[in-house]
A and B are shown apart, each in its own frame.
Chain A
């Protein structure tokens, strides 16, 4: 019986190990059920098909035990799922059955991904037993080992590497495969149980920012002083106009209790007009938009500059707001000691360094949006009140991402929309949330903090990296505090923890280059993967520790974005750990024991003890939260909260509540960025501008590279996966197959028809996948949905899985030192 049957992706030894385990161990119990379902699932029930047990026996009244659990992935929503369990096997998923259809009290209906969670739990690619690599890294050759051997090897290697290279050589990679859990959470890495273990033995190299939003995370510090959101979407019931810059909740935050529900309901209640700016006619545009404005990826800042030109020349600006709350929009508002003509207005009017007026015509050539539309839209935006402006994070995942992120903020500033009901800051939508307690991770004494995207570089040349390469000081990681600092990274990365993470290979930039760096196991000497699936990244680990899924352990799931609904989920244990898997907390307890820090690590608590502790802690801040026992029975706790009006205090009383920027105001001209522009060395093509100018950096429209690779390739977040999570579910692959979106215009010139297999390629890599020829994408743009599992013909060869990161770059953005994974020039051809 073959349990791993994924062609080239399946490591040989796993097959034997897997079957060995399955016949030997605890699986007989439910394999009988799965066997009973083979008639339904077909002969491949144990192979290509998922191991979804149970025939359609209907509702087994009285026999079913309903257990509350959660879908813990990084979509930005968080859904409860109710698992129907019969004889230790999950036979069905039911949705939340509490609440109603009103804002703030809504039922939280899981999306397509959560509804397929049984195919994640009973996946054919479940990791079943501890394994160590026996061939070269990535060769897929494994040998089964005991838990004890695994713990001993890891503890010994950690001790040796820390002795030799210091705690800075140990790195917990970014991973969001278990985001949403509390004790078992994988993100942020510094808040995970692994961080707690490392902090028991002197800490580890931490990171700041993340693949989702790194450019805005850095840029917003300079603009608004610290992390800021916009208003929560439920507040758009008070808006007359809603602008969405690449914001696409209907394909990302898809929960029926989250932003899909909130945006639909708010629009229905208010009748506000919605304009979507996006290269794709997204499902959000399809459902919500009264107008779709397609534009070239990475050019939002040029569009805003065009808007600004209209608003300046037609005197449509909110002067009061700019004078009172902002710094550096015009020359009169500039900080002292800065040369003339560096204000944003000077940039727009052509008085800056480039001596180019940012007329609507100028903007139209860059963005593709006709100049007349820019004029009309600018007038509408400036003369309608209130206007809610939010951005999705796609617009800032570009090589010029920091300025991209700031452009919608600037637009919100020019019309004075900040801090008022119905308005917003131009950042991502906020949400009201219960202050649930986090798992305590102790203190990490390691000072240097790595920009999360540079870990591959830090494997090769981390030693000696300073603030000028983005190293921050753990004492204060705010961008404004790290314009300069005095910490230096003193070691390369020698050990990587990979927990619930597919960012070692699949979700990182430039897969082919990354794999090359990883293949040298004298550099990063050990990679330990804790996961429940044989992910693409797991293939490149040295030791694999099989994790359980959320359904196999008890935990709490804190809420995510759901407008003004506050909630928390008691994610109870529905079934016993499958195969020889073990919850991460137990695994780390075993390693802590070998390291001699078991008591410090556990404080004598079991996982359930910790959950009890976390409920008690949370009840201090959330008085309505039931007790542990009551919460366990109830499964979900909900309470209606107030809408978020971001920066309201500042708007109401700027003198009393100044922003944490150097000026205390919104820094349209950032004095810290100005200082950095004089001090920080820049990678090729990078530039720091103190105001959110449009910069045509690497692989933007107009790049000479377009002669070879004329198309801009983005990677929209996909309904069939959350990043790469759920990417191996047969139901989801059927419902939402991986394709390359190509406009009809670009397809016809290349003789490509819908469904044709095409090759998408650039100098970094190539993939083959079916084309989706569509009217729903701007000409000159293609999109390969993010997160498909890398499945190369051979190492470095053509990727049949359609993983976008064979095309992306490791090149960091200018000052966030982050990912610009949507800035990819490519060519596409029929194969």
Chain B
């Protein structure tokens, strides 16, 4: 079993088709009920379509791209910081985990996390979140989401290795300024990607994430 100093995720925005096979593979692996999504896919879109009212023609200058995100297992995890119970903690391999036997379900981590990683499971009364498929890791298997992606846009590993391989970008819309929590995340930008906090578009599927 390989161990890691700090695990991280890699996402390739350029080739993400927004199919959500990652999200569904995660649901399937962890038997998540509707309403609990450990991995989500946000669509960020902007631009405009101009219509020429005299001849009815139109020309589009629009952009759109997807970002698949679960938990960034941050260096400064705000969820851990604000959790009143220490149920949320940084554990083995740098994975941010929740201890369901300690969590009181106050949902303060949910309010705080700018990645929407902690997800409240109403039936269990506690927060739940991506555990990096720790049982798969123990068998040296890739997390379910990474193994699932039809477009091979996800990767995982020692975050320093990911940065060497793919670069250090991690501050793109619609994700937050990485200085807030220092996510262990590496992104390959879509051609239309915009920097965090300086976007001209908006999340196009807010009810899906």
What residues make up the interface of A, taking CB atoms closer than 8 Å to B?
37-43, 49, 52, 54-56, 58-59, 61, 92-95, 101, 109-112, 115-116, 118, 250-251, 254-257, 260-261, 264, 281, 283-284, 286-287, 292, 294, 361, 364-365, 368-371, 373, 719, 730-737, 743-745, 755, 774-776, 778-779
Q: A93, B28: Cβ atoms under 8 Å?
A: yes
Residues from chain B with a CB closer than 8 A to the CB of A56 are 29-31
Q: Which residues of B contact A52 (CB under 8 A)?
A: 28, 31
Residue B5 at the A interface, CB < 8 A? Answer: no
In the bound complex, residues from chain B placing their C-beta under 8 Å from that of A286 are 17-18, 64-66
Whole-angstrom distance between the alpha carbons of A774 and B59 in the complex?
15
Q: Which B residues are closer than 8 A to A by beta carbons?
A: 14-21, 23-25, 27-35, 37, 41, 45-49, 51-52, 55-60, 62, 64-66, 121-124, 135-136, 139, 147-152, 204, 207-208
Q: What chain B residues lie within 8 Å of A361 (beta carbons)?
A: 55
Contact of B150 among A94, A111, A364, A744 (CB under 8 A): A111
Q: Is the CB of B150 within 8 A of A260?
A: yes
A59 to B15 alpha-carbon distance, docked (Å): 30
Contact A256 B31, beta carbon cutoff 8 Å: no
| Residues on A with beta carbons closer than 8 Å to the beta carbon of B57 | 364-365, 368-371
A365 with B56, Cβ < 8 A, contacts A254-B17, A281-B62 known: yes
Other A-B pairs beyond A40-B33, A778-B49, 8, CB < 8 Å: A37-B31, A39-B124, A115-B25, A254-B17, A264-B151, A744-B49, A776-B45, A778-B58
| Of B48, B49, B121, the contact of A294 (CB 8 Å cutoff) | B49
Chain A residues in 8 Å Cβ range of B34: 49, 730-731, 733-734
Residues of the B chain whose Cβ atoms lie less than 8 Å from the Cβ of A110: 21, 148, 150
CA A743 to CA B149, docked complex, whole Å: 30
Q: Which residue of A lies closest to B15 (CB)?
A: A264
Contacts of B208 in A (CB 8 A): 734-737
Distance (Å) between the CB of B132 and the closest chain A CB?
13
Q: How far is the CB of B21 from chain A (nearest CB, A)?
A: 4
Contact status of A115 and B24, CB under 8 A, knowing A95-B147, A778-B58: yes
For residue B48, which residue of chain A has the nearest CB?
A775
Q: B21 contacts which of A42, A111, A287 (Cβ < 8 Å)?
A: A111
- The interface residues of chain B lying within 8 Å CB-to-CB of A755 are 207
The listed residue with most B CB atoms (<10 A of its CB), out of A61, A281, A719, A775, is A775
For residue A806, give the distance in angstroms from its CB to the closest CB of chain B: 24
Q: List the count of A-B residue pairs having beta carbons below 8 Å apart.
A: 176
- The reply to whether A41 and B20 contact each other, CB–CB distance below 8 Å, is no
CA distance A37 to B35 in the complex (A): 16
Alpha-carbon separation in the docked complex, A185 to B29 (Å): 29
A115 touches B122 (CB 8 A): no
B55 touches A365 (CB 8 A): yes
Given contacts A116-B28, A256-B149, contact A287 B14 (CB under 8 A): yes
**A776: which of B16, B29, B41, B62 is its contact (CB, 8 Å)?**
B62
Q: Give the shortest distance, in Å, between A55 (CB) and chain B (any CB).
A: 6
Give the residues in chain A near B30, CB-CB below 8 Å. 56
Residue of B nearest to A90 (CB): B28
* A618 CB, min distance to chain B CBs, angstroms: 27
- Bound together, the chains give a CA A277 to CA B20 distance in angstroms of 25
Q: Which residue of B lies closest to A48 (CB)?
A: B34
Q: Which residue of B lies closest to A366 (CB)?
A: B56
Given the interface contacts A109-B150, A111-B21, does A745 sit within 8 Å of B49 by beta carbon? Answer: yes
What are some 25 contacts across the A-B interface (CB < 8 A)? A39-B123, A40-B31, A41-B31, A56-B30, A59-B139, A93-B25, A101-B152, A112-B19, A112-B20, A112-B23, A254-B150, A256-B152, A260-B19, A261-B151, A364-B55, A365-B57, A719-B18, A719-B19, A731-B34, A736-B208, A737-B207, A737-B208, A744-B48, A755-B207, A775-B60
On chain A, the residues within 8 Å of B136 by CB distance are: 59
Q: What separation, in Å, do the CA atoms of A778 and B123 have in the docked complex?
A: 43
The answer to whether A775 and B28 have CB atoms under 8 Å apart is no
Q: Give the complex CA separation of A634 and B137 in angstroms.
A: 25
Nearest-neighbour CB distance to chain A for B56, whole angstroms, equals 6
Question: In the complex the two chains form, is B23's CB within 8 Å of A735's CB?
Answer: yes
Bound Cα distance from A284 to B19, whole angstroms: 11
Residues of B within 8 A of A287 (CB): 14-17
- Closest residue on chain A to residue B37 by CB atoms: A734
Closest chain-B Cβ to A787's Cβ sits at a distance in Å of 16
Q: B24 is contacted by which of A112, A292, A373 (Cβ under 8 Å)?
A: A112
